[in-house]
Structure 1
Amino acid sequence: MIRADSEFRTRLEHLTADAAPTIAANAADPGGPTPADTLLARIVWARLVEPGDAIAGGLVGALGPVRALDLVASNTPIGRVRDLVHAASGAEPDPAELARAFARWRLRLDRSATIADLERGLEAQMRIITPESEHWPSALADLGDHAPLALWVRGDHTLLARFSLAVVGARACTGYGSHITAELTESVCETGTTIISGAAYGVDAVAHRTALALGAPTVAVLAGGADRPYPSSHGPLLERISESGAVCSEMVPGSAPTRWRFLQRNRSIAALARATLVTEAGVRSGSLNTAGHAAELGRALGAVPGPVTSAASAGCHRLLREYGATLVTNGAEVREFLGLSNDPALFEAETPETARQPARHRRVLDALPLRGGRTAMEAARRAGLDVADTRFALAELELLGAVARRETPGAAECHWVLLRRQ
C-alpha cells in the first residue's frame, strides 16, 4: 500500500493549499487513509495518467484515490477490480480497457519520481489543490470522469474558483485581433472579473498582459508543468502572472507540453471559466477546441466577428453560424454577455466595502449560471454549502435584488436566476 510516511509528510505540509491540520492523522477512522494519504495518492495519480483519462477518473471516483491506487500497485486481478467498481458505483467498466489502463499506469509507478515531483513543486513555490480541498473549483465537476485529479498552482490558488471569463484565440493574431482582444479584456477587467487563458502567443498573451497592466486578476492554464514556461519566451510573462495571479496545471512539475495535453488543457480552461470568448480565430485554430468544450459544458460562448474577407476570423464566423455563439463587438456587449451591466457590483473586485458581503453570498452567486437557473439543491452542491445555508443566502439575495425565483408549474422546487443590475 502507498501511504504518506514521514518522508512524504513534511513535503505535503508545505505544498498543500489547505491548513496544516488537514495533513494530520484521521482520528475519526484510525484504520482508514489519512488526508495526507489521499493527497499523496492524487499526486501519484497525476503522474500515472494523461489528462482527461476517464478510466482513471471513474476508478478514483468509485473507490477513492487511495484504494484505487492500491489496486494498481498490488497487481489486483482485473476481474476483481471490475467487481469492486460495480459494487461501489454500479458502473461496469470494460475489462479489456481496464487491463490496458492498468498496464500503462504501472509503467509510471515510481516512488523516487514522485519525491522528485514534490521537490520540484517546493522549489517552484507551488501549492497543490485537489477535490478534497476547500479551495477546489467546483466548476470542474462538470467534466465528470474527465476532470483533473489534482492541480499544481503557482500564485493565488483562490482565483481558480472566482467569477471568470476565458479569452482565447489565434496564436498568429492580426493587429485587429490584438486591438479588439485588449479592448474587450479591459472592459471585463473593469468589473473585477478574472481573465483565464493559456499563455500562448497571440490572443492569449494579449489578454494576460492587458489584465496585468490593469492590475486585474488573471490565470494561465498550462499544458505542461506549471514550472515549465511554454513558449519559453513567455517565462517573464508567466512569472508576472504567478506574482499577482495564478499559473496552474494538472501535470506534475517538469512535465513537457504535448499536442494531446494542449487539447486536454483546453477542457480545463472552458470548465474553470463562467464563459468563453473567442476574439479572433481561423478555421484550424486550437481555440475552437476550447470553444467546443465550452459548448459541451453548457457554458456561455461568445465570438467576435472580423472582416468577412479575413481568414483569421473565419473560425469566429463559424462559431456564430454553426454553434450559436453570442455576437460580441464592444465592451457593453461583452458585459451583457457575462450577465453584467455597466455597474456590475455583484462581481466587482473585492474592496473594503464589498469584503463585507458574506462569503456565502459570493459562493451562491458563483454557483448560479449566467443564463437559466438552478434549484437551491443544485446551487448548494456547486457552492459547497449545505442546502439550508444556501436557501437562507438565496432568500437574502432575493431581498437585495441580486437573484429571483422562477416557479415552474408541476416542478417540485423553484429555480433561482441571476438578475442583471440596471
Structure 2
Amino acid sequence: MITFRGGVHPYDGKEYTKDKQIEKLEASQEVVFLMKQHIGAPSIPVVKVKDEVHVGTLIAQAGGYVSANIMSSVSGIVKRIEKRQDASGHYQDAVVIENDGNYTSDYEAHENNIDTLTFEEKIEKVKEAGVVGLGGAGFPTHVKLNVKEPEKIEYVIVNGAECEPYLTSDYRLMLERSKELVEGLKIMLTLYPHAVGYIGIEDNKKEAIHTLEKLCAHEERISVKVLKTKYPQGGERMLIEVLTGRRLNSKMLPLDVGCIVDNVATVLAIRDAIKYDRPLISTVMTLTGDGLNTPCNVEVLVGTDFQFIVESRGGLKENVKKIISGGPMMGISLISLHIPAVKTSSSILAFTHDEVALNMPTVCIRCGRCIDACPSHLIPQKLYQASLKNDINTFIQLNGMECIECGCCSYVCPAKRNMTQAIRKCKSTVASLKRK
C-alpha cells in the first residue's frame, strides 16, 4: 500500500464513539456567533441589538473575498454585539442571541435542478450558505471551488482519512449519510469536467470502505481509495502525494497541482448548499475521552455553549485534568468550557490525566526520531533551536515554513520537548514580518 514518508501511529481511541450514532442537540439559551470562524477577514454583523432573527437569517456577511457569511442557527432576539472569548483564549467580535426555543425558520425546503445551474450559480450558492472547510482550517469553500480554469482540475478528493486520534464524526457521517456524500461528490464533479473523484479512507474504517465501495461500484468518475492508517494521513499534502504522486509546498495550493480537496463534512455542506440552498448552521462533533460520562457523536448548532453541550450529554467526571477542542495532536487545550461552537468545531476531548504535564522536557539526546517522523522532511530539532533563539534567518534557511504543525516531532521526542509549539510560534512571527 502506497504511503508517505514519516508519520506516527498513536493510540487512536476511536472505540469510545465509533459505534455511536449522531444525535441532534438543541442550542443553549444564549447563542454566541463569533465573527471569525474561518481563515480570512472576519465577518461583519448586519443585525442590531433588539433585532428579531430566525433560523437561517443572515446575521453577518463576508468581510472580504476570503471570508464567509454567518447565519443564525436559532430564532430569537439579538441581545448584544460584544467581544467574546474563542477556543484559543483570544477575544473577538460576536453577535449574542437569546434563543426563544421555537426555531422558527427563514429557510423553506426545496430542491434545485443541478443540471440547469451554471458554474457561477453553484459557487454563489456555496458562498451564500457560508460554507467553509470543516476539517479544521476553515478556508471559505466558495473561494477554493472558484478556480479560473475548471478544466485544469484533474482530481476532486474527499478526505475521509480522519487520522486524528479519538475523532469519529466524519466516520459516522460516511456511514449515516453515505448516499448524500456520493451525491455531493458528483455535484462537485459537475464543476470540473475533466476531473475524477477519489474518496480516501484509512484502512481501519472497514465498514465505511465497504459501504462507499458498494455505492460507487457503477460510478465511472468516482472510486474509493484505501489509505494506510497513519497520522497525519489526512493532511492535505500527504493525501495528495499518496493519491496522485504530486507534491505541494507551503507556497502552493492544491489547485496548483490540479486538485480540489475537501473533507467529508464539507462535501455534505456543499451538497446541501447547491441542491437545497441550505445554510451551514450546524457541525458534527465527537465528545470523547475517559473524562466524559457519555462519549458520543452529536450534531451541534453553531453558537451553542461548550459547557451546555457537555452537560446535556452527562457532563464530565470529577477527576478531569485536561480538556481539548479538536484532536489530541493538533487541538487546543481549553481553559474554560464557556466558549461557543463554531463551524469548524470538531470535538471536545476530556482526559483524567495530562501526559504533557507529567513529563518535563530534558536535554536533546540527538536520537533523530523527530527527523524520521516528520512528514515534511524537515529537521525539527534544529528548527526548535532556531525558534527558541528567535533566529529567523536560520529558521527560514531550514525551510521552517514547510512545517504543517502536525505534532509528530513532539509526539516521538524522548526528551518531551514541545517542538511543535515553538515552531508554530516562529512561523507566525515570520508570516507577520512578511506581511509588514
Mark yes or no: TM-score above 0.5: no
Greater helix share, 1 or 2? 1
Query: Normalising by structure 1, what TM-score?
Result: 0.25
